[in-house]
Amino acid sequence: MVRTFCTNQIRNTEELSGSVWSFVPESGEHAGTSYSVVVPTVWENLPEFASYRGRGCFRRKFYGEGNVRLVCKGISHTAEIYLDGRLLGKHYNAYTPFSLLARQIPSGEHELKIIVDNRFSENSALHIPNDYMTYGGINRGIVLEHLKKAYIEYLHVEVGKAGKNGWKVLLTTKINGISDSSERYTLRLQADPLFTDEIAIDLETNESRIVQKEIYLENVSEWTPENPVLYKVRAILSDTEPMDDLIERFGFREIKVSGKYILLNGRPIRIKGFNRHEDHPMFGCAMPLQAIEQDIQIAMDLGANAIRTSHYPNDELFLDLCDEQGILVWEESHARGLKEYHMQNPYFQKQSEDCIREMVMNHKNHPCIFVWGILNECASETLYGRDCYTKQYRQLEELDRTRPRTSASNKHKNDICLDIPEIVSFNLYPEWYSDQNETAVDCIQDMMQWIRNNPVTRNKPFIVSEIGAGALYGYHTRTKDKWSEEYQCIALEHQLRAVLESAECCGVFIWQLTDVRISRERFENRPRTMNNKGIVDEYRRPKMSYEIVKDIFTSYDDYFETNL
């Protein structure tokens, strides 16, 4: 399953995930041994490969002919894809989708082979030993599309308010011709009962064409967290008869920044959120729909209205569910804790650009996404780092001008990149990492005063993008020591009340929703080789802090009371 709704009625698609593949590791004591696995999966789910770093081969056969396109939602982290022994293409990054086209394959049985590599090396600038686990495998859905002479690559929908009751809709459709001759097509765009339109298109041999159509609409239902109304739009490509189609969903919602507020359809939203990793003890990062939905339900029960996809783009199933249930999403590209020397890796710029492009181009229709993020806790205090931040912010703006941009910083007053994004975001851990004599109130007030006195930041919204404390599930002490559930309760209550009672801050993301596995190569001071700051543990069992967080979050409205 790759989406929660049907995206094609004409195009012939065959889902390859949800079925059995063969997996063969290339190294170690089990090298050459074949295992049967159900994709999506990570090989760490197999007992023999719980900590395996290396290469592995996944194989599956299918029947087909003509033009086929392989759509992969995520392979961790480097993939080589072969069709009948011929290299079809390569891809880097576990967390972004990609597609590969094979033209005019003969009728019959074919073998798909995917070689996956999850090793850390100088060729990998973004996947490094980190405070989360880099797994190995086909971690998201995979689909085979059987195409005709041309197909629709994407259908983007941008919406914006136009007047008191009106909305401007910009539809952008990319059509790829794969015919050896010139062809005339008709593109039909329809969103019942809102609009229907047809456009004639001439394509030369193997030509691609981007078609745009602007429409003005009135009296539509808006998408909001409390009433997340979604519409479907369908693009149909025809010659003498319909030959391809693509269905997308969108919502009528507008995100603007006004002074210290983030406006959702003109109303100042208060962010009450969680940071969330794609991680589960039974599935690794290859989480099925049911497990993703469980995480969302936990966050909603806790009173949250937002989730941050720390620290990489998430499975589109997660975004679909957030669209449907009114959860706001901060989605960010893949990068965490990179020092300047990491960012000087010769592969860094290209791999970052690819990740941002694949994230935005595949996910920009989702109304739940209210902000794009980049470069969590990276070298924003250096001149070289500023150059990297500037390039990535510029790329985001070129790809999507309808959403604000931000970056979660731990450089605070030494950050020299705060003038670039529309939103300022700091990771703060008073009463955990900082001096024990510094209270959460003192830390938060000092930071907010600095932000409001700084001419670069004073007129921007401020989000506490991370705050929290660790606790080992089941560890209790009468003295409320660090790592006890009692201490986590105390720290979180101090932190959250200090943030949410301030009118200078427009929101907070707790670190984090669940306990998660981290890389063995980056053990540091993490008991159990895990980041234990979850409000629930890795099995989703609530800690004592669950009720404290729920009580605080539910006591604050989702919107600020102010006259703008």
pLDDT tens figures, 320-342: 999 999 999 999 999 999 999 99
The alpha helices in 454-529, defined as continuous H runs, are: 485-500
| Number of residues that make up the chain | 564
Q: By C-alpha distance, which of 322, 461, 352, 335 is closest to 404?
A: 461
> Which residues belong to CATH 3.20.20.80 in the chain?
262-466+507-514
Confidence at residue 323, expressed as pLDDT on a 0 to 100 scale: 99
Q: Please, where in the chain does CATH 2.60.120.260 lie?
A: 17-140
Q: Which pLDDT score, from 0 to 100, does residue 523 have?
A: 66
Nearest to 447 by CA among 423, 469, 425, 468: 425
Cα 23 to the chain's mean position, in Å? 27
What pLDDT shows up at residue 525?
Answer: 75
Instruction: At 286, list the tokens.
Output: 């290859």
- Angstrom distance (rounded) from CA 31 to CA 550: 48
- Which residues share a beta bridge with 25? 56
pLDDT at 143: 99
| Start and end residues for every CATH 2.60.40.10 domain found in the chain | 150-250
Taking the domain 17-140, which CATH number applies? Answer: 2.60.120.260
Name the stretches of the chain with pLDDT < 70. 435-436, 523-524, 564
Distance CA 178, CA 534 (A): 49
* Contact (Cβ atoms closer than 8 angstroms) between residue 241 and residue 201: no
- Give the strand pairing for 516-517 and 86-92: unpaired
150-250, CATH topology level: Immunoglobulin-like (2.60.40)
CATH 3.20.20.80 fits 262-466+507-514, yes or no: yes
Question: Across 395-526, where does the E strand assignment appear?
Answer: 405-406, 408-409, 424-427, 462-467, 507-510, 516-517
pLDDT tens-digit map of 231-267: 999 999 999 999 999 999 999 999 999 999 999 999 9
Query: What's the pLDDT score for residue 366?
Result: 99
